[in-house]
Amino acid sequence: MSLRNFKDAGGNEWRVWDVVPYGTRSGERRANDRRVAQSGAYTGPERRTGRDRRIRTATLMTPGLEGGWLCFEAQVDKRRLTPIPAGWDEAGETELEGLLERARSVRRN
């Protein structure tokens, strides 16, 4: 996760960072099947009916945000931009302001 600070043309101070939902980065623990045979493991009949024993419920995430987003935050507003643009963390202030203009305003919690 990168974090940047910049000022827009109106003089507002903004913080911007990338948000990637848990489990979407490569190498996440939950992204792999952990059912592997171990010594002393249960040897009786298989009682699981599904291929995956983890319970999956309806996602609580807003559609379109599964791949992550940029979060822009200032005293005056909070915005999200999806998908995360490549190279945003090395962009200049004018480029960040351009991304800010494309971002959608969201309600603060």
Q: How does pLDDT run across 64-92, given as a tens digit for each residue? A: 778 899 999 999 899 999 999 999 999 99
Q: Give the single-character DSSP code of 90.
A: G
Query: How many Cβ atoms are within 10 Å of 15's Cβ, its own excluded?
Result: 13
pLDDT at 51 over 60: yes
| Total number of domains constituting the chain | 1
Q: Which helix (H) or strand (E) holds 18?
A: strand 13-19
- Report the C-alpha gap between 79 and 61 in whole angstroms: 16
pTM score: 0.65
5 vs 1, higher pLDDT: 5
Average pLDDT over residues 21-25: 65
For residue 10, what are the domain limits? 3-105
Average model confidence (pLDDT) across the chain: 81
Question: Residue 61: its pLDDT value, please?
Answer: 64
pLDDT at 33 over 80: no
